[in-house]
Amino acid sequence: MESTERKNDRTPDPDPEPYDPDAEPCDPALDPYFEHRRLLFATAYRMLGSVSDAEDVLQDAWLNWNAADRSAVRNPRAYLVRTVTNLSLSRLTSARAKREQYVGPWLPEPLLTSPDAAEDTELADSVSTAMLVVLETLAPVERAVFVLREVFGYAHAEIAEILDRPEPTVRQIARRARDHVQSRRPRYDTDPERRARITAQFIEACAGGDLNAVMELLAPDVTCWSDGGGKVTAARRPLHGADHVARWIIGVLNKPQTAGVAFRPAVVNGESAVLWTFAGTPVAALTYDLAQDGIKNLRLQVNPEKLKGLSAS
């Protein structure tokens, strides 16, 4: 792969000419930061699994970019990616310590994506909730190398320059991270039509409070994780088995505080998913893996701090 080609970078994005300070003031839309903002956010979000943290990193990167001697920056894109990657690494290192004290299961912050994202299997897989959960098990530097190499197609030499590490070391880290992810990320059915059909059936079963219908959609060995972050009621441990999971879901929906909750399909993290809303505001985001025998893994995000981005979308 040529170093100028990047996976999942859908619009042409050639390296711009070196920054010309005599050209200021300029249209903000022409600034390299805004030109590459989509790539920068995609990098930070996959590194951190958090929309809010990714936005904070981009804000810090913007301040860094404004303070830089742009006349010395020969490749703004490479400079910005390096800045965002290292800012994300710093934030991820501190975040991991906080997550050790996290109440209950930790799940990434859901991201609403465009409908066509679900049709791009490679893109959907790289940003799926399941993938972000697996990436959380990597060490920070391993995660950075994996994201840059496997998602965006950077060469080992480029990553070595970004992380200021020897290229042979980066190659070893890349191999170790790839093997780790592959061993923990089994492949599931990503057919968008089947996922859309299962999502619609799941919504109908939940809206009707139909325990048997919910159970029939679940694989016998299904597991359910719910992330309340200690802010709202959620299961503190993963739930296992179709009967247990289905009864828990229906039990939650039968509680007085969930009266009036509505369900609608959405594309979350590149996959067909279900949003639970109350008075139009998202109160839960449900994503899942789909196996031949039904829904294999359910991930229910109910932490209100992690749903703010959905409310603003």
CATH number, residue 210: 3.10.450.50
Among 155, 182, 201, residue at a domain's last position = 155
Do 5 and 150 share a domain, yes or no?
A: yes
The mean pLDDT value for 49-70 works out to 94
Structure tokens at 42: 């995609």
Does the residue 184 lie in any domain? no
Domain range for 11: 1-101+143-155
Report how far residue 205's alpha carbon sits from residue 121's, in angstroms, rounded to the nearest whole number: 27
Domain count, the chain: 2
Does the residue 44 lie in any domain? yes
Q: Give pLDDT, residue 123.
A: 60
For the chain, what is the mean pLDDT? 86
Q: Which of 6-10, 239-243, 272-276, 301-305 is the least confident region?
A: 6-10
Does the residue 22 lie in any domain? yes
Do 90 and 1 share a domain, yes or no?
A: yes
Residue of 259 and 170 predicted with greater confidence: 170
Do 149 and 40 share a domain, yes or no?
A: yes
Does the residue 171 lie in any domain? no
Percent of the chain past pLDDT 70, that is, above it, reads 85
Q: Give pLDDT, residue 15.
A: 33
Does the residue 235 lie in any domain? yes
Q: Give pLDDT, residue 27.
A: 56
Does the residue 214 lie in any domain? yes
Instruction: Classify the phi-psi angles of 218: left when phi > 0, otherwise alpha if psi is within -120 to 50, otherwise beta.
Output: beta
Task: Please choose, from the candidates 13, 62, 40, the residue with its C-alpha nearest in 3D space to the C-alpha of residue 147.
Answer: 40
- The band of 20, judged by pLDDT with boundaries at 50, 70 and 90, is very low
Does the residue 264 lie in any domain? yes
Largest CA distance in the chain: 69
| pTM for the model | 0.82
Does the residue 62 lie in any domain? yes
**Cα 308 to Cα 23, 83, 109, 281, 285, distances in angstroms:** 38, 26, 9, 9, 11
Q: What is the pLDDT of residues 173-226, one digit of tens each?
A: 999 999 999 998 767 766 888 999 999 999 999 999 999 999 999 999 999 999
Q: Give pLDDT, residue 268.
A: 92
Do 147 and 252 share a domain, yes or no?
A: no
Helix (H) or strand (E) holding 277: strand 271-278
Report how far residue 88's alpha carbon sits from residue 108's, in angstroms, rounded to the nearest whole number: 15
Do 149 and 54 share a domain, yes or no?
A: yes
Report how far residue 285's alpha carbon sits from residue 310's, in angstroms, rounded to the nearest whole number: 9
The mean pLDDT value for 239-260 works out to 92
- The band of 23, judged by pLDDT with boundaries at 50, 70 and 90, is very low
